[in-house]
Structure 1
Amino acid sequence: MAHILVLDDVVDAGILLKRILERKGHQVSVFSEEEEAIAFARRNNADLAILDIKLKKMTGVEVLEELKKISPDIRVIMLTGYPTLETARESLKHGANEYCVKPIDKEELEMKVEDVLAQ
């Protein structure tokens, strides 16, 4: 299965995603700090990153750009509790594969993760 990096400034949200994805057999590393997630990506090869758009110090799109510099092939799903067409377009323009709206629907997340990993 896949190695997935999850970055959400709300620790409990990241842990929830970890539980859902580990039940599907994935290895999941959860972060609430942008720098830690980026440093992890430099040292480890993740297949997929799930990034919240609203973070503490950077935006999810800025983290997406950094991850793409480190690993151009990494697949990315963006999360947001504040969906707008502008954030969706910006995310996709910078290389995100998919976009999910919070609160996360478990089945939708599982389906999108499966679809993105199959790309």
Structure 2
Amino acid sequence: MKKILVIDDEASLIKLLKRVLEKKGYSVAAYTDERAGLAAFNKEQYDLLAVDFNLRSISGEQIICEVKSKDPSFPVLIMSGKTNDFVEKKAYENTYFMLKPFSITEFAERVKVLLES
């Protein structure tokens, strides 16, 4: 079973994404606290990270940089409520950007594609 880590500061979105992904057969760990989410990433083995780009204490950019420094091809799905120069200018391998609000169906499909690549 594929393991997905979701980090977002919106509790309602986290609950929804977790429920949808679990229905698709994935094991999901979801965190609204970015420090706890990053600690979980460093302790456990995950197959994909879905992360909000605009977090409070640690930016999504910092989390992505740490993840990609360990494995440049690790699949990352970046979620954000606004377009961001960092995302537009700095393309990472096996990374996809989704602008909020997004379709849950599209989110689930993108997760599937990233996990298969």
The reply to whether TM is greater than 0.5 is yes
Cα offset, 1:73, TM superposition: 4.4
Distance 1:23 1:82 in 2: 28
Could you list the per-position Cα deviations for residues 9-67 of structure 1 after superposition, in whole angstroms to 9, with x for gaps in the alignment? 11111111101111100000001112111111111000000000110112211111122
Structure 2: stretches of 5+ with no match in the other structure = none
Is contact 1:7-1:33 (8 Å) kept? Answer: yes
1:70/1:43 Cα in 2 relative to 1: closer, same or farther (>3 Å)? farther
Q: Number of paired residues?
A: 117
What RMSD over aligned residues (CA atoms) do the two structures have, in Å?
A: 1.7
User: 2:77 matched to 1:113?
Assistant: no
Letter in 2 for 1:9: D
- Report the TM-score when normalising by structure 1: 0.87
Is contact 2:81-2:99 (8 Å) kept? Answer: yes
Letter in 1 for 2:109: M
Residue 101 of structure 1 corresponds to 99
Distance 1:73 1:51 in 2: 16
Identity of aligned residues (%): 27
Distance 2:37 2:48 in 1: 12
Give secondary structure in 1 for the equivalent of 2:63. Answer: helix
Letter in 1 for 2:87: A
Distance 1:113 1:13 in 2: 16
- Report the TM-score when normalising by structure 2: 0.89
Structure 1: stretches of 5+ with no match in the other structure = none
Structure 1 ranges of 4+ moved more than 6 A:
none
Alignment of 1:1-119 (within 5 A): 1-84=1-84, 86-90=85-89, 92-93=91-92, 95=93, 97-119=95-117
